[in-house]
Structure 1
Amino acid sequence: MSHVEVISREMIKPSSPTPQNLRNHKLSFLDQIAPPVYIPLIFFYHPELGYDIDRAQKSQLLKQSLSDTLTRFYPLSGRIKNEFCIDCNDAGVEYVEAHVHAQLSNVIENPNIEKLKQYLPIEPYGISAAMGREALLAIQINFFDCGGLAISLCISHNIADGPSLVTFTNAWAATARGAIENVTPSFDLAFHFPPRELSGFKPTTGITTEKIVTRRFVFDKMKLATLKDAASSATGSLVKDPTRVEAVSAFIWSHFIEVAKSKLAPKKAFVAIHAVNLRSRMNPPLPDHAMGNIWRIATALSMCEGEIGFGDLLSKLRSAIRKIDSDYVKDLQIGDGYLDFLKKRTENYSNGEVEFCSFSSWCRFPVYEVDYGWGKPAWVCTTTLPFKNVVILTSTSCGEGIEAWVNMLEDDMNRLECDHLLISLDAPKIND
């Protein structure tokens, strides 16, 4: 059992002041409609490499390199002024140091999913940066008894998506290890998606007050091969070359549907929502280091009449994802129909007639490249989410497997874990 003791809290500001002409950072339309929550990531590092660097040296190195990095990522040190812009006032990011009375190996070899939030600097879903009072980025450095480290970051979704967070983290790590080449981020998303008057639309967190539990299902290389073979040969499948993300997403969606069908309340339809990175789908494409909420959702619909097959769901999912192309982005840039779509989805969600499940794949994020000078991380993870039927997909440390972080109502999770197909794939749950 680990015990986390907070040692210090402070604000880290950019090492150079932000020029006056950059003080007002425009939020894009996509930033405006992002959920008012934080995105959490935790990076765990073994003590073996760089063990000769003591805690005080590491602390000073991380603080100074963070300050230097914030000069280039200046909006992260600001505060939200209103729904249209950020005041880049160099107020700083929250920086916490803590001592963990435990061995790192005990934490990552048998992780207790419910306890991971203790390594975060803030509760990512309990507060909002929307009112402009809180830092847009918060960081906690956790020093373990053995010399290992856990570095956690929580970034406001009002200004960044997952790729943006990883871009910043890799830039910070590169600065810390003294890398000569380093990324220059771009903050011009509002040029491509100008902010709009939202006409009464208010982004929601999606947080439920019902009891949600989180399970981590691990699919290694062999299990993924079995799953992809099953997907390509399944009845109704038009996809003969599924990606690992497509196969896992459709597989879990099919089990969500079975759980929903087993309940007394009938559903009219089942919808899978998959987050899609727009950077490479724009014309011309945006660079990987473009900052902001550069994503939208693909929506796959399955009606509840008759048998719903794995292959059919996979085909629907791929078709929906491929519709997020350059033409889709153009419509998103010039039309107002997307707000109507969001309002309609909210109505469908609230009336209970449609069963939604949401997927977000972080598998291509270069999280295992984040090296501060003492080696690459042993494990990178998120935490529990207070959202119903939400799945986060991440790569395993070797890069060949997938971890599926599944968040469901407690009773629904019990039904899911009894599913004979899930058991037959032997995808273990690890949480306590």
Structure 2
Amino acid sequence: MEKDIEVEIVARETIKPSSPTPHHLRTHKLSFRDQVSPFRYVSVAFFYVANTIAAKTDEKYEGMVIFSQRLKVSLSETLTHFYPLAGRLRDNLLVNCNDEGVDFLEARVINYSLSDILERPKTEGIGPLCPIKPIDYYKAPLLLVQVNFFRCSGVVISLTISHKIADGVTFAAFMKAWSDMALGSPCTVVPDFSAASSRFPPRENIPIGSYTINETSQKIVRNRFVVDASKIADLKAKVASANVPQPTRVEAVTALVWKCAVAASKSRSRSRFGGSPRPYALMGAVNMRSRLVPPLPKYCFGNVTGMFWAMLDKDDHESQATDDLPSLVYQLRKRIEESSKGNKMGLNGDDMELYSQTSWCGFPIYQVDFGLGKPTWVSIVGKGGPIGIVLMDTRDGEGVEILLILFEEAMALCEADQELLAFASPNPSVLSKN
């Protein structure tokens, strides 16, 4: 991908719930966890190569119209069940479930075939395939959809969703429900809206979370790496220890990538700034639905997450950890377990280099079938920071795809890190495994 993707927006529509939201459901209170979530939108793109849209030129337009209509009807039906998504935020306290609806855009891709994009995919370059992220968080839709049609009959369905009211689990549940509706299948997703009333009641005057980057003058870049299923077992064996004899693939990959990122940052700091490097912290989200006692429903709507913190080079001996992989995995395991207990660590963000960690592994995103078959590739789309690691399943559900976000100089060092490259391939073709 050497040039920007060009798209032409050919239609724009507002999709509302198929049935009006009942009066007694017109106010959806944000939970405390929603309130402290940042005002930001997350974009995710689903790429479909094999599909049932007619390939012949004289039939293609009709096929696109029929497919778009199916998406819009099923989206409307799905919004009836996920009705807060069709509302508008108010005062960081609630969603006014007024059925104003969500944006639905149809676009034609002018200058690329889908295979061109998937041969050497770059998440920073596919932004035009996604709806533009709103900046007026209170007046804008909480969900925007863009359906992109390619000349080769490929399709990319992208969604931009407000993180203020939805975490990754909520997003995946919505996508499963929508694809079930589009296929005419029985929908097994029943969203639960009890988080605010049962566990995390909202509070007045809550400061809104934000992502800040201390070194704003430094360019931040994103690169994709893939750990194939064939390498996962070897990596797990390398990071296993008596403390964690059976590490998960997420723990193993996180430890590997974070170790390499910190090593790159230390080298960069010595050459650029001199002196001693700051401590390094890794902050990640943990799905709390099944960890709470008693647990919340699987499809509990909203941000139902706890946070874990892992540290390197912290001054106090109790929190200090070495950077060998088994020790990192052990620390990750401990910190994730502590997140269930609500334990917190006192951290000063000005005195450390902070990395975020997000894992979508295990989410059924590759089961989203709108009648086009399963997606060939699914990717989170964006530019810039915060610096950190995003993990997703590969299409077979066994490997791990890494989106690494670092300062440009540190990224160049990571790209040459032999320990990372022993397990992770830099930006391989999506098509080679399908």
Is 1:36 aligned to residue 39 of structure 2? yes
Task: Name the aligned partner's letter for residue 403 of structure 2.
Answer: W
Task: Name the aligned partner's letter for residue 311 of structure 1.
Answer: P
Partner of 2:258: 253
8 A Cα contact 1:275 1:295, kept in partner = yes
Rate the CA distance shift 1:223–1:17 in 2: closer, same or farther, 3 A: same
| Counterpart among 97, 113, 118 of residue 103 in structure 1 | 113
* Worse-matched range after superposition: 300-309 or 262-271: 300-309
Give a deviation string over 1:187-221, Cα, whole Å, max 9, x none. Answer: 1210120001245x232133674411000010001
* Superposition deviation, residue 358 in structure 1: 1.5
| Counterpart among 361, 379, 382 of residue 359 in structure 2 | 361
* Superposition deviation, residue 266 in structure 1: 2.4
Secondary structure of the structure 1 residue equivalent to 2:339: coil
| Counterpart among 225, 232, 249 of residue 224 in structure 1 | 232
| Counterpart among 265, 283, 300 of residue 290 in structure 1 | 300
* Superposition deviation, residue 250 in structure 1: 0.6
Secondary structure of the structure 1 residue equivalent to 2:126: helix
Superposition map of 1:127-206 within 5 A: 127=135, 129=137, 132-191=138-197, 192-198=199-205, 201-206=207-212
Task: Name the aligned partner's letter for residue 169 of structure 1.
Answer: M
Give a deviation string over 1:237-275, Cα, whole Å, max 9, x none. Answer: 622211100000011111122123221252342212121
| Counterpart among 16, 19, 22 of residue 16 in structure 1 | 19
Uncovered stretches (5+) of structure 2, i.e. residues with no partner: 56-61, 315-319, 430-434
| Counterpart among 291, 295, 311 of residue 281 in structure 1 | 291
Secondary structure of the structure 1 residue equivalent to 2:247: coil
Q: Distance in 1 between matches of 2:296 and 2:309?
A: 23
Task: Name the aligned partner's letter for residue 246 of structure 2.
Answer: D
Partner of 2:317: none
* Worse-matched range after superposition: 168-177 or 100-109: 100-109
Partner of 1:334: none
Q: Distance in 2 between matches of 1:182 and 1:82?
A: 33
Partner of 1:64: 73
| Counterpart among 266, 291, 313 of residue 303 in structure 1 | 313
Secondary structure of the structure 2 residue equivalent to 1:41: strand
Q: Distance in 2 between matches of 1:43 and 1:306?
A: 39
Task: Name the aligned partner's letter for residue 420 of structure 2.
Answer: L
Secondary structure of the structure 2 residue equivalent to 1:115: coil
Partner of 2:389: 391
8 A Cα contact 1:37 1:205, kept in partner = no
* Worse-matched range after superposition: 7-16 or 157-166: 7-16
Secondary structure of the structure 2 residue equivalent to 1:183: coil
Give a deviation string over 1:149-192, Cα, whole Å, max 9, x none. Answer: 11111110111001111111111111111012342211121012
Give a deviation string over 1:101-137, Cα, whole Å, max 9, x none. Answer: 33222222321332111111113xx7252xx111100
Give a deviation string over 1:16-47, Cα, whole Å, max 9, x none. Answer: 11111111110000000001111211111124
Partner of 2:425: 427
Task: Name the aligned partner's letter for residue 421 of structure 2.
Answer: I
**What percent identity do the matched residue pairs reach?**
40
Partner of 1:318: 333
Secondary structure of the structure 1 residue equivalent to 2:390: strand
TM-score for the superposition, normalised by structure 1: 0.88
Partner of 2:249: 244
Rate the CA distance shift 1:307–1:60 in 2: closer, same or farther, 3 A: closer
TM-score for the superposition, normalised by structure 2: 0.88
Task: Name the aligned partner's letter for residue 16 of structure 2.
Answer: K
Give a deviation string over 1:271-309, Cα, whole Å, max 9, x none. Answer: 121210001101221222111001121111222689632
Rate the CA distance shift 1:284–1:411 in 2: closer, same or farther, 3 A: same
Partner of 1:81: 90
Give a deviation string over 1:327-366, Cα, whole Å, max 9, x none. Answer: 43xx8xxxxxx7xx7xx64xx22x2x21221111101110
Q: Distance in 1 between matches of 2:66 and 2:393?
A: 31
Secondary structure of the structure 1 residue equivalent to 2:240: helix
Uncovered stretches (5+) of structure 1, i.e. residues with no partner: 332-337
8 A Cα contact 1:171 1:182, kept in partner = yes
Q: Distance in 1 between matches of 2:370 and 2:294?
A: 33
8 A Cα contact 2:387 2:406, kept in partner = yes
Q: Distance in 1 between matches of 2:275 and 2:195?
A: 43
Count of residues in correspondence between the two structures: 407
Rate the CA distance shift 1:205–1:301 in 2: closer, same or farther, 3 A: closer
Partner of 1:335: none
8 A Cα contact 1:36 1:205, kept in partner = no
Rate the CA distance shift 1:32–1:411 in 2: closer, same or farther, 3 A: same
Rate the CA distance shift 1:420–1:183 in 2: closer, same or farther, 3 A: closer
Q: CA RMSD in A?
A: 2.2
Partner of 2:399: 401
